[in-house]
Structure 1
Amino acid sequence: MTAGKAILLGLFAGFVIVVFAALAIIASPLWMPPTYESTETAPVVSGRAYPGNPDQEARLVRAEDERLVYVRTVSSAARWRVDDLDGPYRLHTSPTLTLVLPARAQPYTMVDLLSLAPDTLVRQPDGSYLLSENIVVLGGATLNLESADGLTLRMQSQADAFVSIVTFGGSLKIAGTPEHPFAIQSWDAGAGTVDTSTNDGRAYLRVIGGNASVQNASLSSLGFWSGDTGGLALTGTHPVTGFDAATDAAEAPAVAGARLLPSGALANGADPVAPDYGYVSAAIDNVTVTGNTFGIFVSDAKGVTVRDTRISGSLVNGLVFHRFVTDSVVSGTVSSDNAIDGFAVDRSSQNVVFDGITSERNGRDGVSLDGQPLALGPNARGTAVDLYGDNRITNSTLRDNARYGVEISGGRNVEVSKSRIAGNEAGIVVNHGTAGVSISDNVLTNQVKQAISIRDTVSNAEIRWNAITGGDTGINVRNAGAVVQSNRITEVSNHGVSLVGKVPEVKVSGNAIGGFGAIAVWNEEATGGVVALNDFSDWRPAATFEGVVRTIFQPLTVVWLLLGLLLIGTALTRHGPQFGAFRNPYAEHVPLTSLTRGVVSRDSLSRDVVGGGS
């Protein structure tokens, strides 16, 4: 092979290699078949870890429960065992005393407390008041902490002791003004600041039965470990026994004000008293809650209203409706930057309305609604297997939460409507056999994965009139029943709607689906379901290998490529003396001057003549 042929062959081989390499690079991500993106394949998001000491704090919670049962028992016995007992009194409850406020017609006020506890409610140089003993409000009594001047109550909370304010069927009222809220905070006197550590317990407020009214107030850095001791708790009761205060009675300091009872003697022989009060009710209005363990914790309550309140920085959840909370409304309230959920409704709570709330930047979900039964079958306590529900979220904003904007786990008759949901891992997730859920008129924007996900035996779900923009998938239905109708889906990057598993009761119709994913409605791994009359005019299919090949190899492109290959092939295969080497194409047309100088001398002509003559 000549050098020219070798060069041409090398050029041809290089050209072919470059073309096929470019095709491989372009098409490499396109060989995989289209799939759907599941939220369950991502790492589990469980919120930010609790910073305290679980073992120590759990023991302190138990001790607090025992102390309260002891106070209730002794207070009941004191009515008939102590002569001339009239008005408030104190009990030995290690490590601090407990001031008991019994029933009376007039509310107890800050003025009364200063008179009853001059040594344990002390005005500080900055004008605040430091409380260093527990207060218990019995049924028929009201503690009214009210000030128009913005009073600050600091509750002792340090390594050796913390205090609490608890009502037993009584009422608690806390009120300031919009300009001057009434502030309550934990206080570490040694450090001269609020108590941010829960390891050794922390001051808290709790209303057991009765009624609570908190308005124009600020609550900060309260509570530890449990919901009952979590900061501001509105609860029922739990039977606990076993507190023993007599061991430290001799060491209790004498204080002025209310009478100190010989509590050890009163407790002997007295049985724990069952509470004679039921549900708690509460009205919370224009309250700022910052840095509590649970921002606000509610259980066994009816008719709770929370309005225009701000909850942030909680070590667990923002607002919790735990067990048996019914007929309650939360409106105009913001819950943000909490370690787990912004708002949580647990099993057995129902008829709860969230209207105009905002839940953002929480460590797990914006709102969590759990309507599953408390038991799935026969059980030791005979608990019913009922579903709970009739909960609603309307006109709300749920954004930038680490996992879901809303999670609905079981229950019945749940509604999410007219809300704005943005920037979560998934917008609305419905699972665990929810029976009847309506998701309508919502605006869902830029979720990481799915805007709406209906899965795992959910039935009778209606998804209508929602506007969905961005994200991997607009609506995902897996092993569930749903009507997906009249939604507008735009700018999704994988599928507008994906159907997976057994979906015989699914109907997808009347939706306008736009985006640039592989397939607008993906149902290749689904059995059953009806997909009809959807508008795909704004759908731009994503590139596939076949599509790339068709785009590159247009008919005219193929013609020119073949002509080029034909010319190169001809140059390499023709034989003959005139082929096979590079030559000057004008070799036969060179000027004469290049062959001779073009000058004939006289001498040469003379010699030719003479020679010729001879």
Structure 2
Amino acid sequence: MAQPDPAGPRTGRKWLVRLAALAVVGGIAVAAVQTGMVERVLGPDLSDTGSMLDDAEEAGVVEAPTDAEDTSAPTTEAQHHQATLVEAEDDRLFAIVSDRPPSDVPYEVPAAAGQTMSTMVLTPRPQPYDMPSLERLGAAARLPDGSWLLNRSVVVGRGAELRVQEPGATLRLASGPDGFAALVAFKGTLTLSGGPDAPLTVTSWDPAANAADTERNDGRAYLRAVGARMDLTEVNAADLGFWSGRTGGVAWTGSAGAPATGSANHVRVERGHYGIFTSRVNDVVLNDATLRDNELDGLLLHRETAGVVATDVTSTGNGRDGVTATRGAERITLTEVTAADNKGNGFRIDGSPLAAEATAGGASTAQGAGYTIERSTATGNAEVGILAVEAGGLNVRDNTVSGNRDGIVVRGVTERPAITGNTVDAAEFGIAVRGGIRNAQVTANRVGSAVIAVQVTDASAAVEQNEVRAASRYAVSLVGDVTGSSVTTNKLGGRGLAALDINRVGITATVGITANDESRWTVDRDELRYWRDYAADHPLLLLWLLILVLPIAARVWHKRRRRLRDDHVHPYVNVPPGPPVPGNSNVITSVGRPAPVAPRPMPRPGPRPPVPPRPGSEEASATVALPVTRVTVVSGKGARK
């Protein structure tokens, strides 16, 4: 008779435990995916980086570490070397501006230990300095091709003025493995200008290679205003800057008591570390500027930048964002600005406070305010066309946003951002209002292609008079706590699960929905696409499938295995008790010799087998043939197998 396998139940239980563990692991994976999705939507947490300001920082020479600089731990020797060079530049400038000038005439400061290039300091005088003046001081030389070579670093001191007016000329700043020249105005005035159709070109220059310096790891020449005024007109700047914002290429920086200021008109900045960098400035005007192919951001408006007006600026092909306003920058107006084909966002505005509570440096807890992006274009950027985080007083109006992953995303705790009159196409979200926004105005926008045209998540917004043409899942989607939101008088067109998604609205949320035109919406009848989109909108569905379906499937599989095992017939089940049968080598006698028996057919189910005879009876003494697979021979010396 077949015997049950005692290991069977244990094996089944093991498989159940394994599958339950798989369900838990799958749940964790789903949670991780959800976390990744939230991080992609909301972006990284911007925590406080404020620190105590030292004397040099108050003077505007150095700045507190921020997200605008490469302040992460160096990962290579070259990065460490660049950071060391920035510190050396800070020390050099601070030593110059903090000491009393040794004379009232220009003077030279020898190179410090480890440096190879001295510094010429210009002191105040009635008339401005120019390139011939620098040549007489030994800080510049005229090259045979008519260009100028700045062979020393130059500091335009307090009250001094340097004017370089050279239409069609080239100003080359010495830069190479042996050192680099920096042109810095410290509380003075620096003017660089060319002429119409004859710009002044400013570039780094490696005399040994007879070419521009393209190697950033050993430092590179740069332009900078420190608490000064710097004006650039008809200037092309190329191959400048390294490592930090203040040494990033073309930079306006200041201090709390002496903000920098100036302008850039009809300029082009390319192949720099940054394009244009500002920090602690007031009232900088940018007009008709092209910022392209820079290593990081094209235009970076950094901490305590205020009153910047940028008009007709193009920022394209940069390694990070096209235009960025970081924490502490406010009152920014961007008009007719194009951000295209950048590897990050087109526009990124961050108005979040510098600190959430008291800090050693006393950083402000106030939210930034006063941001306008109008009549601008964001196209072909890898991430979001226009991204705004906790930006108070935000106006995004009459812009064209297309070819980005997401179109316009506004998030964070702030009041009444206005998103009006924009034309948007996006690969995923067209317009998204998320994470604490209150009373947003999303009005009169036109959204072409997008997976979800307009989404409001854990925020409140008035979505009114918008036109959605070709959404592929939802025209308008409301998710979470959207109390106070309204969706009215919109034209909703496209094809997908629904024109208006309210299935994920919070239980206690109240929303007003009236007078929307859904006549151009087609409910998607493709079952595969329907369930794909449904699963994408309900990612916890996978978790429930793992928790519920897999254990049930495992139980069914285990029962099937046990049934198949019970149906398996033991190979000797058909051998009856009795005397040896000739011809059957699988039957042995009581003395251990095989006795062949003729095969017999399988018996049909019958009555229960007879009770075994009592020991000592005649039946028990009869020779019985038993099926065995192993024989034990007993001798006087014991058992041997």
Once residues 298 and 323 of structure 1 are traced to their aligned partners in structure 2, the CA distance between those partners, rounded to angstroms, is: 8
Aligned partner (choices 538, 543, 550) of residue 525 of structure 2:
543
Once residues 447 and 528 of structure 2 are traced to their aligned partners in structure 1, the CA distance between those partners, rounded to angstroms, is: 30
Is the partner of 1:491 in helix, strand or coil?
strand
Would you say the 8 A contact 2:275–2:292 is kept in 1? yes
Structure 1 residue 235 and structure 2 residue 215: aligned?
no
* 1:512 counterpart residue number: 491
Structure 1 residue 501 and structure 2 residue 480: aligned?
yes
1:71-220 correspondence to structure 2 within 5 Å: 71-74=96-99, 76-78=100-102, 85-93=103-111, 94-117=115-138, 120-148=139-167, 150-220=168-238
Deviation for aligned residue 1:126 = 2.2
Would you say the 8 A contact 1:465–1:487 is kept in 2? yes
Deviations 1:94-146 (A, max 9, x none): 321100100112110111111111xx422223221221110001111111011
Aligned partner (choices 31, 54, 67) of residue 92 of structure 2:
67
Deviation for aligned residue 1:336 = 0.3
Deviation for aligned residue 1:356 = 0.6
Would you say the 8 A contact 1:481–1:506 is kept in 2? yes
Aligned partner of 1:65: which letter?
Answer: D
Structure 1 residue 57 and structure 2 residue 82: aligned?
yes
1:483-494 correspondence to structure 2 within 5 Å: 483-494=462-473
Would you say the 8 A contact 1:408–1:434 is kept in 2? no
Aligned partner (choices 446, 461, 477) of residue 482 of structure 1:
461
Once residues 383 and 319 of structure 1 are traced to their aligned partners in structure 2, the CA distance between those partners, rounded to angstroms, is: 24
Once residues 43 and 394 of structure 1 are traced to their aligned partners in structure 2, the CA distance between those partners, rounded to angstroms, is: 24
Is the partner of 2:162 in helix, strand or coil?
strand
Once residues 39 and 297 of structure 2 are traced to their aligned partners in structure 1, the CA distance between those partners, rounded to angstroms, is: 25
Once residues 42 and 306 of structure 1 are traced to their aligned partners in structure 2, the CA distance between those partners, rounded to angstroms, is: 32
Aligned partner of 1:115: which letter?
Answer: R
* Unaligned runs of at least 5 residues, structure 1: 1-35, 79-84, 239-276, 549-614
Structure 1 residue 280 and structure 2 residue 273: aligned?
no
TM-score normalised to structure 1 length: 0.72
* 1:335 counterpart residue number: 315
Would you say the 8 A contact 2:409–2:432 is kept in 1? yes
Would you say the 8 A contact 2:140–2:151 is kept in 1? yes
Aligned partner of 1:210: which letter?
Answer: A
Would you say the 8 A contact 1:486–1:511 is kept in 2? yes
Would you say the 8 A contact 2:371–2:391 is kept in 1? no
Q: Judging changes above 3 Å, is the alpha-carbon distance between structure 1 residues 409 and 186 closer, same or farther for their aligned structure 2 residues?
A: same
Q: Judging changes above 3 Å, is the alpha-carbon distance between structure 1 residues 65 and 42 closer, same or farther for their aligned structure 2 residues?
A: closer
Structure 1 residue 347 and structure 2 residue 327: aligned?
yes
Once residues 350 and 89 of structure 1 are traced to their aligned partners in structure 2, the CA distance between those partners, rounded to angstroms, is: 39
Deviation for aligned residue 1:237 = 4.4
Deviation for aligned residue 1:428 = 0.7
Cα RMSD for the two superposed structures: 2.4
1:391-406 correspondence to structure 2 within 5 Å: 391-406=371-386
Once residues 375 and 363 of structure 1 are traced to their aligned partners in structure 2, the CA distance between those partners, rounded to angstroms, is: 28
Once residues 156 and 515 of structure 1 are traced to their aligned partners in structure 2, the CA distance between those partners, rounded to angstroms, is: 59
* 1:302 counterpart residue number: 282
Deviation for aligned residue 1:373 = 0.5
Would you say the 8 A contact 1:39–1:426 is kept in 2? no
Aligned partner of 1:473: which letter?
Answer: I
Q: Judging changes above 3 Å, is the alpha-carbon distance between structure 1 residues 280 and 546 closer, same or farther for their aligned structure 2 residues?
A: closer
Question: Which is bigger in relative contact order (C-alpha 8 A, separation at least 6)?
Answer: 1
Aligned partner of 2:176: which letter?
Answer: Q
Once residues 310 and 547 of structure 1 are traced to their aligned partners in structure 2, the CA distance between those partners, rounded to angstroms, is: 44
- Larger displacement relative to structure 2 (385-394 or 85-94): 85-94
Aligned partner of 1:542: which letter?
Answer: D
Once residues 397 and 300 of structure 1 are traced to their aligned partners in structure 2, the CA distance between those partners, rounded to angstroms, is: 27
Once residues 43 and 531 of structure 1 are traced to their aligned partners in structure 2, the CA distance between those partners, rounded to angstroms, is: 26
Structure 1 residue 375 and structure 2 residue 355: aligned?
yes
Aligned partner of 1:514: which letter?
Answer: G
Is the partner of 2:136 in helix, strand or coil?
helix
Once residues 413 and 179 of structure 1 are traced to their aligned partners in structure 2, the CA distance between those partners, rounded to angstroms, is: 39
Once residues 434 and 392 of structure 1 are traced to their aligned partners in structure 2, the CA distance between those partners, rounded to angstroms, is: 15
Deviation for aligned residue 1:397 = 0.7
Is the partner of 1:314 in helix, strand or coil?
coil
* Unaligned runs of at least 5 residues, structure 2: 1-33, 45-66, 531-641
Deviation for aligned residue 1:463 = 0.2
Is the partner of 2:134 in helix, strand or coil?
helix
Aligned partner of 1:539: which letter?
Answer: W
Deviation for aligned residue 1:43 = 10
Is the partner of 2:184 in helix, strand or coil?
strand
Deviation for aligned residue 1:41 = 7.4
1:431-510 correspondence to structure 2 within 5 Å: 431-445=411-425, 447-510=426-489
Would you say the 8 A contact 1:362–1:401 is kept in 2? yes
Would you say the 8 A contact 1:45–1:403 is kept in 2? no
TM-score normalised to structure 2 length: 0.69
Structure 1 residue 414 and structure 2 residue 433: aligned?
no
Once residues 385 and 236 of structure 2 are traced to their aligned partners in structure 1, the CA distance between those partners, rounded to angstroms, is: 27
Once residues 37 and 499 of structure 2 are traced to their aligned partners in structure 1, the CA distance between those partners, rounded to angstroms, is: 19
Aligned partner of 2:300: which letter?
Answer: V
